[in-house]
């Protein structure tokens, strides 16, 4: 009777000894105590977990980085190119674009030129006093409105033929060199003055006639704030020299029609940007 009892006790002790050794070995196993379990051993995540898998996380970070660097969401963009306005190159159009890229035919001359009833810095009835009929009538209203606000404007130079522009340009090149001349004078056929839709203006004191000092004057500020109401835009904006190809000219206004002028002015862009034809070449 004692032999079976002793045998049972010995077996129990041996079993307990082996179990304890195995437990101590698992606690010291670095593969189990330090590193995470494999996917098969992980607990399933709740169905409402919104965390992205690794690839999507990377994509999300790339998107954030792109936006941070200045890329804009097209759905909220108000850039002129979103309006898909096609560049108007018809010489007869009030909205025609003429710049260093787009030119007029050498023999183009508007057939509806008139003498606007506005004061100029000279008295002679010569070509540079003329504008196309629609633009001229709009100019009369603009000058009248300025006068009502106590602002006196004078015309300096409006229509200019291809031949006249060629003579002027060549004279400027001789005087200042071609590179300098191209910053303020158009190559023949590329001048807005040939359209009969553009005019240079100045103040009644005639102090800053087609000069940088016209910027900041009462007359320049009035034009900036009111020209669009009469269908005109400040054609060569400050800070847009690399787009228009010309220096800032607050005295040069261009007729494009009221609706278009108000749209361009509201956007604060150039005609090139409005038509999405930038940049111009030099």
* Active-site annotation, residues: 249
Beta bridge partners of 28: none
What residues have CB less than 8 Å from 133, skipping those under 6 apart?
112, 113, 114
Q: Residue holding tokens 């001349």?
A: 181
List helix spans (H) across the chain: 2-27, 30-33, 54-68, 133-148, 162-176, 178-181, 218-226, 241-244, 258-267, 271-275
Give the Cβ contact number of residue 244 at 10 Å. 21
Whether the CA torsion 93, 82, 273, 266 is positive or negative: it is: positive
What residues have CB less than 8 Å from 29, skipping those under 6 apart?
none
Cis ω on the peptide bond leading into residue 39 (within 30° of 0)? no
Q: Is 104 helix (H, G, I), strand (E, B) or coil?
A: coil
């Amino acid at each position: 009777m004692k032999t079976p009892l002793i045998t049972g006790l010995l077996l129990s002790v041996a079993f307990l000894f082996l179990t304890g050794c195995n437990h101590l070995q698992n606690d010291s196993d670095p593969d189990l105590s330090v590193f995470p379990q494999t996917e098969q051993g992980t607990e399933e995540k709740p169905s409402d977990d919104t965390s992205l898998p690794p690839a999507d996380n990377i994509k999300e970070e790339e998107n954030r980085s792109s936006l941070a660097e200045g890329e804009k969401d097209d759905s909220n963009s108000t850039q002129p190119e979103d309006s898909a306005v096609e560049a108007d190159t018809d010489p007869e159009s009030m909205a025609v674009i003429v710049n260093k890229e787009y030119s007029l035919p050498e023999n183009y001359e508007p057939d509806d030129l008139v003498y606007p009833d506005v004061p100029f810095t000279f008295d002679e009835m010569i070509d540079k006093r003329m504008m196309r009929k629609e633009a001229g009538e709009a100019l009369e209203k603009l000058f009248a409105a300025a006068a009502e606000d106590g602002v006196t404007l004078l015309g300096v130079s409006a229509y200019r033929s291809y031949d006249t522009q060629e003579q002027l340009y060549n004279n400027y090149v001789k005087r200042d060199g071609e590179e300098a001349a191209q910053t303020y004078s158009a190559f023949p056929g590329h001048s807005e003055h040939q359209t009969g839709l553009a005019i240079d203006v100045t103040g009644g004191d005639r102090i800053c006639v087609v000069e940088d000092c016209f910027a900041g004057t009462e007359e320049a500020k009035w034009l900036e704030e009111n020209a669009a109401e009469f269908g005109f835009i400040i054609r060569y904006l400050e800070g847009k020299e690399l787009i228009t190809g010309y220096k800032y000219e607050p005295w040069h206004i261009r007729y494009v029609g009221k609706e278009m002028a108000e749209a361009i002015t509201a956007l604060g862009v150039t005609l090139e940007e409005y038509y999405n034809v930038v940049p111009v070449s030099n």
